[in-house]
Amino acid sequence: MSRKLLIPLYGEEVAPRFDLAGEVLIVVLDEHNEIRDERIIVVSQASAEGLCHLILKEEIGAVICGGIEEEYYQYLKWKRVDLLDAVIGPWKAALTAWIEGTLSPGSILYPRRDHHEC
């Protein structure tokens, strides 16, 4: 059975706000967690309603996003979409962590830099 994931994008990053994404990444995984399909869709008009409609139309099972309004969070949960919100960082790192099963809400995916100089 395949799994479908959607990530609202802002360039190479997970979009900081669900409702302002101009494009989204849709990834389809096969039963072995291998990527079967990956495509970027340009959204004609950024809106939470439009993204919710796209998620349901495409039968998306999981969404990785930054900030999302409570109303849309609850709606997608009610529709049985797995939501990982407040994720910050590059979308490729988020996708990898999701496939590996290590991604959780609130994940910050930038590499740590140890600066000892002030």
Q: How many Å apart are CA 40 and CA 77, to the nearest integer?
A: 23
- Average pLDDT estimate for 7-18: 95
pLDDT the model gives residue 56: 96
* Domains of the chain with CATH codes: 3-100 (3.30.420.130)
pLDDT in tens, 41-93: 998 888 999 999 999 999 999 999 999 999 999 999 999 999 999 999 999 99
The sign of the dihedral angle between the CA atoms of 40, 46, 48, 49 is: negative
Distance (Å, whole) CA 13 – CA 30: 24
Closest CA to 7 of 26, 31, 32, 33: 26
